[in-house]
């Protein structure tokens, strides 16, 4: 799988192993809605209609309005649905496939990551500016949060993050952190969700 080079790389740090969620994290609207969104897509094959519905559902978690575009107006969303279905059935998407989904979904790799996560929560993690800022703040002590959209919105950076997060959560020493998240939420989440939400909640 091709990886786009970035000028700076901020790896997923081992510090995630020691993180916890703040008190009350399980009572937020995001936490209480999350399992219902996952369940709504669980086991659902993705056709063009399902692609449109899933993308709009996920954008309920986003601060922007969704504008969907399709690569082939003669068969709207057929290509995009096929890519998403291949991910659902176990494929690791190529950079080109991720870029095609990104072009369809507000030109946003953040939106793509959330769609992939809700469809495949054990294989794809959510990526956004707060996760980016956590990794960057650990890598660059003293750095203060600034939403650098162009830096966050790089497909290659998301791919690298996904690879590194999968490696982190496969380690036996991640299990206590995973359990802390399950306890805080009051329901089980995948290891990838646990690692991502720990970084999100502890971002500067």
- Is 181 contained in some domain? yes
pLDDT at 5: 45
pTM score of the predicted model: 0.93
Mean pLDDT of the chain: 93
Q: Give the chain's length.
A: 204
Domain that holds residue 148: 14-201
- Is 138 contained in some domain? yes
- Is 6 contained in some domain? no
Beta bridge partners of 197: none
Phi, psi of 68 (to 5 degrees): -90, 140
Phi, psi of 141 (to 5 degrees): -55, 135
- Is 117 contained in some domain? yes
Residue bearing the bigger pLDDT, 144 or 23: 23
- Is 161 contained in some domain? yes
Cα–Cα distance for residue pair 20/150, rounded to 1 Å: 29
- Is 31 contained in some domain? yes
- Is 37 contained in some domain? yes
Structural domain count, the chain: 1
Residue 49 tokens, joined: 């209609």
- Is 134 contained in some domain? yes
Residue 2 tokens, joined: 């091709």
Cβ contacts of 147 within 8 Å, gap of 6 or more: 129, 133
DSSP 91: P
DSSP 76: T
CA dihedral in degrees (58, 62, 66, 71; nearest 10)?
-60
pLDDT at 194: 98
Residue bearing the bigger pLDDT, 7 or 76: 76
Residue 25 tokens, joined: 């994290």
On whether the CB atoms of residues 62 and 126 are closer than 8 A, the answer is: no
Local confidence band at 204 (pLDDT 50, 70, 90 cut-offs):
confident
């Amino acid at each position: 799988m091709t990886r786009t080079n970035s000028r700076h790389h901020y790896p997923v740090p081992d510090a995630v192993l020691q993180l916890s969620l703040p008190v009350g994290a399980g009572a937020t609207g995001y936490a209480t809605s999350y399992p219902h969104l996952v369940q709504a897509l669980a086991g659902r094959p993705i056709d063009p209609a399902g692609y449109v519905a899933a993308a709009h559902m996920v954008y309920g978690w986003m601060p922007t309005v969704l504008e969907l575009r399709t690569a082939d107006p003669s068969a709207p969303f057929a290509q995009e649905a096929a890519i998403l279905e291949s991910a659902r059935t176990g494929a690791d998407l190529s950079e080109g496939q991720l870029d095609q989904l990104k072009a369809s979904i507000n030109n946003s790799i953040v939106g793509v990551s959330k769609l992939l996560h809700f469809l495949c929560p054990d294989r794809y993690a959510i990526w956004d500016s707060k996760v980016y800022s956590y990794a960057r703040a650990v890598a660059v002590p003293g750095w203060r949060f600034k939403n650098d959209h162009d830096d966050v919105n790089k497909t290659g950076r998301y791919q690298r993050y996904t690879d590194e997060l999968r490696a982190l959560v496969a380690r036996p020493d991640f299990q206590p952190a995973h359990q802390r998240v399950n306890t805080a939420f009051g329901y089980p989440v995948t290891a990838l969700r646990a690692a991502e939400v720990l970084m999100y909640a502890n971002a500067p």
